[in-house]
Amino acid sequence: MLSGIDYFVVVMYLVGIMVLGLYFARFVRSADDFFLCGRSLPFWAVGMSIVATDISAMDFVGVSGQSYRFGISVGNFDWLGSVPAMLLAAFIFIPYFWKAGLYTIPEYLGRRYNDGVRAVASMTWIVFFAVDLGVLFWAAAVMFKSIMGWPHWFSIGATAIVIGLYTFFGGLTAVVMTDVVQMIIMFVGGATVVVVGLYHAGGWGGLTDKIAAMGEAYQNHFELIQPADTQTPFPWTGILFGLTLVMSNAYMIGNQAIVQRCLATKSVWHAKASMLCGAFFKMFIPMLVMFPGLIAVAMYPGMEDGDHAFPTLVKSLLPPGLRGLLFAGFLAGLMSTIDSILNSTATLWTKDVYERFLKKDASKRHYMIVGQLATVVLLIFGVITSPLSKQFPGIYVAIQTFLSFFQGPAFSVLLLGMFWSRATQWGGLVGLVGGISTSVLLYIFKDRLFTIEDPFLYVSWWSFVAGVLLNMVVSLATRPHPPGRLAGLVYGLPKTPQSSCEAAVC
């Protein structure tokens, strides 16, 4: 339980973030301001915001739980699962998107393929983000319950109200600038647990010695690369094919919540630099979220549920004051992810669905209000669906499972669209829908098809392959787009006046 000083730290944090977020409401006058900050952001703010968006309650609770069970191989998600993809995004994809003046990734797919692909991609992201919100709220409730003893529904409601307010009024500017502060608090809070935990575990040497002495079951706890036939969810084959080649690229290049803030930077150099800045900060994330699980292995072996490792450490190791700081860090991680998802989903709904299919040519203020209303609806949906997370054994695995359903197919469509001029609108549509269907089928029959505990990495890879093959076969069987239609949309093709975002074909 928290003491008086802890409550003071947490309340100061909440009030500070609220004031900061609402301060930026004064700069929001139109849809451009609400969704893209008027394209005025510097690289460092966006880089820090990418990291803050990426790290969440899921990481503090879920990754430490996974590292408790499986060791440091879970760190692959933040190292291999980020850096190569962020380099690819920085130097190839982001400059293209930025120069095209996009709001959303499905908007690119709509220009490259057709409105059908755009609608499917956008609706899929909207559904994923909405489900993701529920998972995040549940993670928050687990933490609140463990540390403060609050009932689940009270925790979820309180979190939703605080985040909803500044996201509603401040738009992406408030989201990004609060993310900057939240990332700093997260790093300080997370580092506090690691430093205090390592001290109690006897330092790094003491930690490794204790775990090594625990027997054969723990012999791979300090190996990043796991055998192909491991029973953990992280065989090196899955890490290479599923994570490095597909999921990480799909996440860093195709994830609206990540890419949108890069599109809001003030120049194309800032857009590229923001990704590289984010990649640098991402290197430190595993140390903050993975080490607590390892420390818990040494200090509290035999826990039934690894997801309790992090809360147990906080409760037992941190003194009053520091516990509040950590809790603020935890809240920061949670809030920075949820506010980003809210704003990005509202952008997807407003730009890809509402503006495109329901009401064209309205004023920018009208679209801003639509975005704000979408924020409220999403918030309510996330709260209502949060108990679904209970159905899944590990919180982190649950979100990876959701991701693996469509990350592979979505990336296949994006990749072929960018690099293969022969890809057609029908190829893109069939590739996307067929790939997602493949994911669902693979997951339904996973017990018969796969040997590892949770094959989300393999599902991601094979659904990507299915998406590529279907796209190629159907594209070759259908009429190609005229070259002028693709200029500026496919890598290597010349940029003609028809290719700019103002062109009628766009």
Partner 1 sequence: MLNFDWLQWVSLTMAKAVFLALFVVSGLLVLMIPKASILEGVENPRWWHNLKLWALGVLAIIFTIYFIF
Write down the least CB distance from residue 416 to partner 1, Å.
20
Residue 204 makes contact with partner 1 by CB under 8 A? no
81 or 164: CB nearest partner 1: 81
Residue 146 makes contact with partner 1 by CB under 8 A? no
What count of other Cβ atoms lies within 10 Å of the Cβ of residue 419? 12
Write down the least CB distance from residue 282 to partner 1, Å.
9
38-55 burial: b if 16+ Cβ within 10 Å, else e: bbebebebbbbbbbbbbb
222 or 381: CB nearest partner 1: 222
Distance (Å, whole) CA 328 – CA 14: 8
- Which one of 8-16, 56-64, 165-173, 264-272 is the stretch in contact with partner 1 (CB under 8 A)? 264-272
3 or 267: CB nearest partner 1: 267
* DSSP element (H, E) containing 133: helix 115-148
Residue 241 makes contact with partner 1 by CB under 8 A? yes
Write down the least CB distance from residue 348 to partner 1, Å.
27
Write down the least CB distance from residue 97 to partner 1, Å.
14
Write down the least CB distance from residue 71 to partner 1, Å.
10
Write down the least CB distance from residue 272 to partner 1, Å.
6
Query: What's the sign of the alpha-carbon dihedral 440, 446, 451, 452?
Result: positive
Strand partners, 265: 41
Q: Choose among 307, 333, 331, 352: nearest CA to 127.
A: 352
Residue 228 makes contact with partner 1 by CB under 8 A? yes
Residue 299 backbone dihedrals phi, psi, to 5 degrees = -95, -35
Tokens 């359903």 correspond to 405
Which 457-486 positions form the footprint of partner 1 (CB under 8 A)? 458, 462
Instruction: Calculate the alpha carbon distances from 402 to 59, 208, 283, 341, 500 in Å.
Output: 16, 34, 24, 15, 35
Write down the least CB distance from residue 459 to partner 1, Å.
9
Residue 237 makes contact with partner 1 by CB under 8 A? yes
Instruction: Note the Cα 122 to chain centre separation in Å.
Output: 16
Which positions from 431 to 450 touch partner 1 by CB under 8 A, shown as an x/- string? Answer: -----------x------xx
Q: By CB neighbour count within 10 A (0-12 exposed, 13-18 middle, 19+ buried), where does 361 fall?
A: exposed
What count of other Cβ atoms lies within 10 Å of the Cβ of residue 465? 17
Residue 219 makes contact with partner 1 by CB under 8 A? no
249 or 350: CB nearest partner 1: 249
Q: Which of 112, 210, 261, 272 binds partner 1 (CB under 8 A)?
A: 272
Write down the least CB distance from residue 461 to partner 1, Å.
9
390 DSSP assignment: G
Residue 429 makes contact with partner 1 by CB under 8 A? no
Cβ–Cβ under 8 Å, residues 471 and 412 = yes
In three-state secondary structure terms, 41 is strand
Residue 300 makes contact with partner 1 by CB under 8 A? no
Write down the least CB distance from residue 280 to partner 1, Å.
6
Which residues, at least 6 apart from 452, have a Cβ–Cβ distance to it below 8 Å?
Answer: 230, 231, 232, 233, 235, 238, 458
Residue 263 makes contact with partner 1 by CB under 8 A? no
Query: What's the sign of the alpha-carbon dihedral 203, 204, 207, 213?
Result: negative
What is the size of the binding site for partner 1 (CB under 8 A)?
A: 42
Residue 227 makes contact with partner 1 by CB under 8 A? yes
**Site residues, partner 1 (CB under 8 A):** 72, 79-80, 83-84, 87, 90-91, 95, 222-225, 227-229, 235-238, 240-241, 244, 267-270, 272-273, 276-277, 279-280, 283, 442, 449-452, 455, 458, 462
